[in-house]
Structure 1
């Protein structure tokens, strides 16, 4: 009896504590490599981390700023989470970048656990366990878990809200099976926290799910036990205090920018050059959901044939409305669709288990057995998956080689792990060996991420310019209160590592900064145009070059040489810092 065609009986099981501990342990094994050692990324991660640091620095936990610039793109939730993590763990009030990443890591682990919880109710404990483990190993979640941003934390709230909806949806017409008030209130709390993290995105997911289910079932009476009379006030209690406070603090400018520019603006115009045609997410899915993109694609005929089954219908209602919206909006980034990946992971897991148990997708729902067309579909999907896997492996070797001019043995090992994982997944998918596919994918993902994130990426010296700038500043700092001004290289990671007071601007501004405090100020300049402005604005003053820092500015995709200058004369002992007068 398959999970889907069992009429709900197979879904009545529940995962036990050891299952959840296993998911959490596997998730940490997959997500921790590189978590502590990868330097701050540009640009979004460093902007979030710096804004959170400034909250601790200033004591203002209402307004959000990067240096003096208002940062009114997202609500305050992630900044509070990051600030709390740093306040608890840091002795100096600043904290290492990994402290700011903790909410993302915990959100990713929670999302895997909540996916398993929802899946156990929808498809049975085996599919729930497999789906939770699969989500933990998805490539895009691994990236987001290592970033001090909103998306992994948002995913946890989406998985929680959707998981509660799944519990109530599957209990329709079954007296005594309805979840209690506490579970219902968890839905509203998840919505509230999700809104504080990334605004109305969570409402889009949940609202799209409910609209799709309402259109398909012609019945939303199962929502009554969600206790909106209690839940809506709880949601408002979570979101309203800060919304009112930020409105007053910014004369309501936050809402004009966040809604008009950030939310609606992304829908009809491309922002920050992040564009793509319709179908963009179908193309990027092959890599973003690796190593599970092949079994997920192979689950499509199965899911369509079983679309009238409540569990499958719920997952499709979770995926399709949000996916269509993301494909329609102008601004696109590969990680946007992560909020529907829990449902995709569950569909892939349930399909694999169904086929491994002898049901053949469409045949499981009573449709004719698949013929030649289905075989061509599976063969084509497997071939394209292996092509993407090969490109992924090639990129893992080429990227460090292109930057450093040498073949990195650990990158080659990562490429071997990627290729081996892809081949194993394709073979076990063809053989319908669900357990072996899951184990091979998890082992391969662990090896890939351990090598790529844990060993290769932190060692690519040319791309980590900001840590080099911070080290050079400490080496050459003439005074305890030295402030750096920079032109040509103004990445947020440098501000995070060097200090909030770092001056960013053009070459002439760096010159004025040095002239205003020749004994203590330092300047950083790169690029011919900025160097020319810098020297012209200095007039007759001759800057002294302290250090050249070559590297690769990946935010702009070009090689650079950063030059650190001072107007102070050389000391007798250049390693002895000058004291501020």
Structure 2
């Protein structure tokens, strides 16, 4: 086969990841509140033909910039409004991120093809980015643009592409994109031969490229700021960046919070002894490749630790660098011929998988003993024994003898399949706690009857796309139910109690589990009467969705308090 045709065939790691990701993302519907909120914003922009300023629940949405929404709109323009295209788009973005990371590794390790070849295998095995990548969210697209920007910076710099990729990142999640790429640029002479040879040209052309990327953002932000109004403009240009950096109004965490999260991000590789041995025996000198990784990862991670607002997925764009670092230490160990003779070095991972399989197999018996009361465990127990067989098989796969890159491939493939299997267990046993389709269908009927809708507590757009709602949902507090009902006597109200009121079983329009709470939809006059201690006129004609196994000991199981994330 000609070489030109060979290059058109995707590598095996990418084909494997893509097939597993497509399988996994269609196991269940969009997840609240992340995916449903993204789809709600895209839907409102589409429905209102307002493509400049994102909107949610009828108000300008300053938290995000619009590139992901525009990509969703592009598919809807061809295929119509649906939730299949956004999910396929998310998988394609993830595949693009992996391909860009592999290309970046080739540019970072031009003289170490083994490290470059290992990098994507380390990356596809990581459990957290795979599972988070099933959310219709912005971070994977941001990670893709970061990898593309650094690809343009490494080797011989291509400043035009650098500016375009930087602008795409800024249009994905705003100025945080600059934080991901600024340190490799500033420290360029330390790791780049091109920067050392032409230091003045490096900084001059780089400054122009940064200006070009920022100009792409401003080309949207300036007209959007004026179109969205003063409040939107102030939040867009100040609050959404400064508010998180200085004194976070969202996700405030202590300085050290990211350190234990590294174990989550680097699972399963933290359990591979061979990798630990390679890291502990890593010897200097440092080449330009290692210096690039240090210049990128350490200062960027340090600044993220200093930033007040923290979430695990904020570090997603750094994971290709972490995968390259792991590949580098393993490749250097392999080049020395050290540690390659151990043919069962994955045994700790196998033991962990066997322990998880045993726990799943024993879960029904533990629940039958009456000592476990979590509704999550009760739900999982319905299918846990079947999934225990699958995890036991994966554990046996990890115990097969092997060495060198073959062992790396086997661990990566097993991890990927294991994560997909865990996600399938969630989808078939637990997702009904997140499935808002029944409530969305009822609210769609209420909208068709021109009945106003209120939500007790903060509304995050979770019904807008699924119900194809037009117009806003009112946000009210418990104490405002009577007042809202007087103004909207034909309205419906959604609320989320931690424990069902027995009267809800008789009078609510709909009851369904939602996360660790319940979701109830009421006719407004009925709920107002119940809250006032009165007896409603007659029971509601309702659809009650409460699985029988939620009732134990003669009463509904109380679900733990659970805050709804932003």
Give the structure-2-normalised TM-score: 0.75
How many residue pairs match? The answer is 513
Once the two structures are superposed, residues 225-263 of structure 1 have per-residue CA deviations (whole angstroms, 9 ceiling, x without a partner) of 795597457535522210211222245654642454332
In structure 1, C-alpha distance between the alignment counterparts of 2:357 and 2:149, rounded to whole Å: 34
Corresponding position of 2:415: 444
For residue 20 of structure 2, what is the aligned residue in structure 1? 30
Corresponding residue for residue 135 of structure 2: 147
- Matches of residues 11-410 of structure 1 in structure 2 within 5 Å? 17=7, 20-90=10-80, 93=81, 95-96=82-83, 98-123=84-109, 124-168=112-156, 183-214=158-189, 220-221=196-197, 224=201, 228=206, 231=209, 234-236=212-214, 238-251=216-229, 253-254=231-232, 256-258=234-236, 260-278=238-256, 280-294=257-271, 300-301=279-280, 305-306=283-284, 308-360=286-338, 402-403=375-376, 405-408=378-381, 410=383
* Cα deviations by residue, 1:516-548 (Å, 9 ceiling, x for unpaired): 565x6433344499999xx9xxxxxx9983534
Alignment of 1:406-425 (within 5 A): 406-408=379-381, 410-411=383-384
**2:493 aligned with 1:523:** yes
* 1:89 to partner: Cα distance: 2.6
Distance 1:149 1:248 in 2: 26
Q: How far is the alpha carbon of 1:29 from its aligned partner?
A: 2.1
CA contact (8 A) 2:353 2:395 kept: no
Query: Compared with structure 1, are the counterparts of its residues 410 and 25 closer, same or farther at alpha carbon in structure 2 (3 Å cutoff)?
Result: farther
Of residues 502, 511, 535, the one that matches 1:549 is 511
Q: For structure 1, which segment, 234-243 or 419-428, has the greater mean C-alpha deviation from structure 2 after superposition?
A: 419-428
Q: Which moved more, 1:141-150 or 1:210-219?
A: 210-219
Deviations 1:143-163 (A, max 9, x none): 232112110000000111112
Q: 1:271 to 1:80 in 2, by over 3 A?
A: same
RMSD of equivalent CA atoms: 4.6
Structure 1, unaligned runs of 5 or more: 1-13, 169-178, 362-378, 536-541, 577-581
- Residue 123 of structure 2 contacts residue 323 of structure 2 at CA under 8 Å; is this kept in 1? yes
SS at match of 1:269: coil
Partner SS, residue 149 of structure 1 = coil
What secondary structure sits across from 1:485 in the alignment?
strand
In the TM superposition, residue 422 of structure 1 has moved relative to its aligned partner by 7.7
Q: State whether residues 276 and 331 of structure 1, in contact with CA within 8 Å, keep that contact through their aligned partners in structure 2.
A: no
3-state SS of 1:116 partner: helix
Query: Aligned equivalents of 2:265 and 2:388: distance in 1?
Result: 17
For the 8 Å contact 1:246–1:252, the answer to whether it is kept is no
- The aligned residue for residue 368 of structure 2 is none
Compute the displacement of 1:68 (Å).
Answer: 2.9
Please state how far the C-alpha of 1:348 moved relative to its aligned partner: 1.4
Deviations 1:114-164 (A, max 9, x none): 111121233344433321233233222212321121100000001111122
Question: What SS does the aligned partner of 1:33 have?
Answer: helix
After superposition, the C-alpha distances for 1:41-73 in whole angstroms (9 at most, x for unaligned) are 233332222111111111112222211333212
- Summarize deviations over 1:293-334 as a string: whole Å, max 9, x none: 34565554466x346211121122221111111222232211
Structure 2: which 5+ runs fail to align? 340-344, 364-371, 527-535, 544-566
Deviation track 1:330-359 (CA, whole Å, cap 9, x = no partner) reads 322111211111011122123223323434
Between the aligned partners of 2:362 and 2:453, the Cα distance in structure 1 is: 36
- Residue 455 (structure 1) shift: 4.4
- In the TM superposition, residue 497 of structure 1 has moved relative to its aligned partner by 2.3
Cα–Cα, structure 1 residues 543 and 445, in superposed 2: closer, same or farther, change >3 Å?
closer
Conservation of the 8 A alpha-carbon contact between 2:510 and 2:520: yes
Match of 1:559 in 2: 517
- What's the CA shift string for 1:529-569, capped at 9, x where partnerless? 9999xx9xxxxxx998353414143xxxx432524336599
8 Å Cα contact 1:545-1:563 kept in structure 2: no
Relative distance call for 1:445 and 1:394 in structure 2 (3 A) is farther
Question: What SS is found at the alignment partner of 2:63?
Answer: coil
Alignment correspondent of 2:557:
none
| 2:470 is aligned with 1:484 | no
Q: Does 1:506 align with 2:477?
A: yes
Q: Is the 8 A contact 2:101 2:120 kept in 1?
A: yes
The aligned residue for residue 453 of structure 1 is 423
Any idea what SS the aligned residue of 1:162 has?
Answer: helix
Q: Which residue does 2:462 correspond to in 1?
A: 493
How far has the Cα of 1:191 moved from its partner?
Answer: 0.5
Aligned residues of 1:40 and 1:493 also touching (Cα < 8 A): no
* CA 426–204 in structure 1, closer or farther in 2 if over 3 Å, else same: farther
Distance 2:198 2:384 in 1: 52
Q: Give the TM-score normalised by structure 1.
A: 0.73
Instruction: Tell me the alpha carbon deviations over residues 462-500 of structure 1, each in whole angstroms, 9 at most, x when there is no partner.
Output: 5225223124446x7595444433325845323332324
Cα distance in 2 between the residues matched to 1:382 and 1:322: 34
The structure-2 alpha-carbon separation of the partners of 1:406 and 1:43, relative to structure 1 and needing over 3 Å to count, comes to: closer
Q: 1:199 to 1:426 in 2, by over 3 A?
A: farther
